[in-house]
Amino acid sequence: MAKEKNIMEKIAHANQSVTKGIDPKDVKHWAKIYIMGKVYEVPADLTIMQAMEYAGYRFIHSCGCRAGFCGACSTIYRMKGEYKLQTAMACQTRVECGMYLVQLPFSPAEKPIYSVTKEPYEGNSFLKYFPEIARCVSCNTCTKACPQDLEVMDYVQAALRGDFQRVAELSFDCIQCGMCALRCPAEIVQYNVSQFGRVMYGRNGFPENKALKKVVKATEKGEYKKDFKNLLGLNMKQSKEAYKKQQATKAKFLKGGKK
């Protein structure tokens, strides 16, 4: 059985047509796309990012992790014969015939300066720093633009109500790509609103965990240095065995806790 590839090997494999070149005779299907108004033929199994590199474009920014986690490669495109603009992450979306591509130089990123240690945990803090959320017309354009399929409009409405918990829950998987803000007619920078909601809820919305506080203090005193040193000295097989043992202990503890 072939050894399973890790994430970096998978990324390298996916980009080999760009990094190592590709013989045209090995390509079964081609796609005609338009980049900045110029037509190109590229292998049909490439992502938007790979296709642009295949066409000769060099990314010096807005490429990020290339694995769909960082939100740096947001792009807008339109299909030939269609009026509607589409949004996508260039590293996740494969090219299609008749795709007109435009890369975005930046998305609205300015955010107000605030201190989570000094800001009162009050609902009107959202309006204090993001008064533009009051302009939301509930058009849902932000939600339609989100590549993560988040309910963006819903968490903006939750911010209007001052509901930190709901904002944090609905925006938890936000990757800060900025496409919601790019399409918003009310000029709301939704991902900044969500970030404020998450950090405020994370700091103030949970009761103090006394057990965690105790462990932090013990760590600061160096009580776990020996354990860390032993852990770092394990080989792969020993690490797997230690992990299995830890998970079995955790499962046993949780099972006992339910009784």
pLDDT reported for residue 198: 95
pLDDT reported for residue 14: 59
Structural domains for the chain: 28-103 (3.10.20.30), 125-204 (1.10.1060.10), 217-245 (no CATH)
Angle between helices 152-160 and 190-204 (to 10 degrees): 60
Reported as a pLDDT band with limits 50, 70 and 90, residue 133 is very high
Sheet arrangement for strand 99-103: 38-43, 30-35, 99-103, 74-79, 86-89
74-79 and 38-43 strand pairing: unpaired
Does 1 have pLDDT greater than 50? no
pLDDT reported for residue 115: 92
Rounded Cα distance, 182 and 131, in Å: 18
Rounded Cα distance, 13 and 16, in Å: 5
What does the pLDDT look like over 8-51, one tens digit per residue? 566 556 566 555 566 667 777 899 999 888 899 998 888 998 89
CB distance 122 to 162 below 8 Å: yes
Q: Which of 161, 154, 168, 155 is nearest to 197 (CA)?
A: 168
Does 219 have pLDDT greater than 70? yes
Does 125 have pLDDT greater than 90? yes
pLDDT reported for residue 179: 86
Does 4 have pLDDT greater than 60? no
Token pair for 214: 């105790």
What 8-state DSSP symbol labels residue 57?
A: -
Reported as a pLDDT band with limits 50, 70 and 90, residue 259 is very low
Rounded Cα distance, 110 and 107, in Å: 9
What does the pLDDT look like over 65-106, one tens digit per residue? 877 778 788 888 889 888 788 888 888 889 999 999 876 666
Listed range (10-14, 58-62, 114-118, 228-232) with the worst mean pLDDT: 10-14
Pick the more confident residue, 61 or 209.
Answer: 209
Predicted model pTM = 0.64
99-103 and 30-35 strand pairing: parallel
The alpha carbon of residue 215 and the mean position of all alpha carbons in its chain are separated, in whole angstroms, by 30
- Integer-rounded Cα Rg, in Å, for the chain is 24
Q: Where are the beta strands (DSSP E) in the chain?
A: 30-35, 38-43, 74-79, 86-89, 99-103
Arithmetic mean of pLDDT, 173-190: 90
pLDDT reported for residue 56: 87
Rounded Cα distance, 165 and 1, in Å: 46
pLDDT reported for residue 5: 60
If you average pLDDT over every residue of the chain, what do you get? 85
CB distance 152 to 141 below 8 Å: no
Owner of token pair 């796309």: 33
